Every structure is written in C-alpha cells, then in structure tokens.
Amino acid sequence: MIHREDTERIVITGVGLTAPNGDNLTEYRQALLTGKSGIQPYEIRYFGKTLAGICHFDELKYQSRRELRRGTRAGSIGIYCAHEAILDSEIDWEALSKSQVGVYIGITEHGNVETENEVYQISQYDYDCNYWSHHHNPRTVANNPAGEITLNLKITGPHYTLGAACAAGNAGIIQGVQQLRLHEVDFAIVGGVSESIHTFGIFAAFNAQNALARHDDPARASRPFDLARNGIVVSEGGCLYTLERLRDAKKRNAKIYGEIVGYGMNSDATDFVLPNTERQAQCVQKALAKAGLRPEEIDIVNTHATATKMGDIQEIEALKTIFAQSDKTWINNTKSFIGHAMGAAGALELAGNLPAFEDHIVHPTINVDELDPKCEMPNLVLNQPQKVERVRYILNNSFGMVGINAVVIVGRVDD
C-alpha cells in the first residue's frame, strides 16, 4: 500500500444510514448476516402495484412537521443520515467550525418526485398553475439534498450534490476525500441518498426496458447472479459518512471504521445503458493503482450487480480479468437484500461490509437458487455468510447509466 502522511490519510469516523432493512449500521449488518430482505409490496400512482425497498426511519427525529412539508424526501433522508453519522463520530459538534465542514452528497436524479407531485396537484384543479407550489424551485434545484442538510445543521462550508447516476454514493465519498486532502475543509459529510421510489417514472421506465423485477415473494425478487433473475427492485435509502484526516481523528481518539486508501472514476463512452466490461475493469485497476495494492490483497469485493441479465455478466467478466487468480478475494452483493438504492447504493453497500474488518465475516448474496453459469467466479459468497481469516481491504464497485464508473477501496486502520 502507498504510505502517506497522516494529514493525507482520510478515514471514516461516523456512519449514519437508513436502508429498507435497517435504520442504523448495527440493525443493517445483522439483517445482512441473517438473510433479512427489505423488499416489500408497493403501489404508486399511475403505475400501480410493484415491489420496492422502503425505509422506515423516524422522520421527526431531526425535523419538524413543517420542515418535512417544505422540504423533500431526499433531503429528509440526508438530514437523518447526517445527524446519525455526526452522533456516531462523537465529534464535538458545537465546538467544530461549521465553515470548515463540507457536504458532498451523491444522487442519481433529483426533482422528478417533486415535479410529478406538482403536476398531479394542478391536475386536480384543471391544470391551473396558480396551484403550483412556491416551494417547487428550492425543492428541485440540483443542490437540494446537500443544501437541506446544511440548513438543518447550520453548516456554512461548501455543499453540493454530485449527479453520478448509480455510482453517486461512491462519487460523494471520493469528493470528500479530495477536498480534505486539498485542505478545503477539515470535516466532511459524504455519501449518497435516494428518493427514487416516490417517482412513478422510474418504475415505468425500467418496466419499458423489461428490467423491472417481479416475484411472488417480495423478499426473493432481487436476485443478482441467479439464472432466473429478471430485473431491478427500485429502493430508497441513504448512507452518509463523516470523513476526517487521520491526524485529526487520532488527536481526538476517534473510533475509525477504515481508511479510504484508493479510488477510481472513469466513463464507458459507449452506450446509454449497457455497461462496458473493459472500462469497468480499468476503473478497478485505477483504484488498485492509486492504493498501491495488488488484486490478491483485496479481501472483499462488493459487486454493483443489479440483477439485470447483461449487467451482472458484464461485471463478472470485468472482475475475472483482475481477481480470477486471487484465491482469498471474496465476492458478494448487497442489492439482493435491499434492492437498488440508486444514488445511495454504493455508500450503503460499502457500509454493510465495513464491520467485516472486526468480525471477519463476509455477508452473502442471497436468492441464488441456480447460479447463472455466465456469472460463475471463484469465491462468490452465496446464500450463507463466509467466515474468513482476515479482512484488510474492501473494494466497492458502483456503476451507473450513461457509462459512469466509481470504485472505492477502504482499508483497516491498525495504527
């Protein structure tokens, strides 16, 4: 691994999340180890009945009813996760200079939910635009989820959202690392959020692509790598981290979940939807090179696989070119439990694996009754957790539409 000064080493000191199967890391991790899915029946205006991953966090824990009415679901998820991450970090929040706090939030899309709701609202009044909400503009600006966090927590440092499709959670983490290394901020709140289940359009679009999952048992609908997989389960959720320089974390004797030791981002430049195996592999290699690691030093690879026919195959092909000879690199997937949380996916999937640094357990991919032969790969962890000798490095894949790829590598910190 590349050795850096403590001022350049960036570590995770807090985790705040809400997922369809847990509202904090302890609940979430337990669900991943016991095979508990968060997918359930769902019905949405115009589209009708489907399946979705729905979060059940306490919306009123950090916001008033008035604030909820004025803001957005994505903002509410972000506010909840940011507060939880700050509490988990045990930072002296009152003493921290809020001008030195940066907020970098990944999203897949933002504004569709609010626009659909407003169009429906005026449809009840013969499309009279006088009934259009005056809150529409601040709700739909692209910086909204990050901005709502700063308003709620009185943060005066920089904030913005990163539109990086389903690679957005990793992109938010990467941005925070870069800003801390540039000394633009001293404390960063990073990750991703998604309110996607509240727009009927995303269900209709995946359905039109023949890429929306169906199953009689909701808990078995999301089935990456399974021969009978039939598409994506759309989910909402959020996961935000607090990042600090290692020097600062040591100074206050903070709990450290891990160090961001490497990352990579690139573009496919080939198709709107179909992923590019070669570019995905290049992104992984870029992250490994930045970390100064060999493939065989990675203990866990959390896959992006969404349970689409070609997407899963393409990613496995990319991983085979790098890890096929790494006999101690274990491969898993989190979407089989929670569905696809879009902009929150990468951050949530990383969080589910972080406890493996301590318990040395690799959570499985569930719902694999018959492995697709085209998805076969050594050390796939299927249906049951895998106890391993050690976990030193976790590599987290996130790939998105219009060909955006983001990979993050987190290492255990022993010193």
Catalogue the active-site residues: 166, 304, 340
Closest CA to 397 of 303, 281, 286: 303
Residues near 385 by beta carbon (within 8 Å), at least 6 away in sequence: 33, 361, 362, 363, 364
Six-digit token pair at 375?
């998805």
The Cα–Cα gap between 201 and 4 comes to 46
The Cα–Cα gap between 64 and 117 comes to 21
Q: Other C-beta atoms within 10 Å of 129: how many?
A: 8
Residue 151 Cα to chain centre, angstroms: 23
The Cα–Cα gap between 188 and 11 comes to 10
Specify the DSSP class assigned to residue 297.
Answer: G
Residue 68's alpha-carbon distances to 238, 329, 349, in angstroms, are 17, 44, 27
Looking up tokens 């589910």 gives 352
For residues 106 and 168, is the Cβ–Cβ distance under 8 A? yes
Residue 184's alpha-carbon distances to 86, 161, 169, 188, 285, in angstroms, are 19, 17, 21, 10, 28
Please calculate the CA angle 338-13-249 and round it to the nearest 5 degrees.
Answer: 170
The Cα–Cα gap between 159 and 143 comes to 8
Strands (E) in 290-403, as ranges, are: 300-303, 330-333, 361-362, 386-387, 393-400
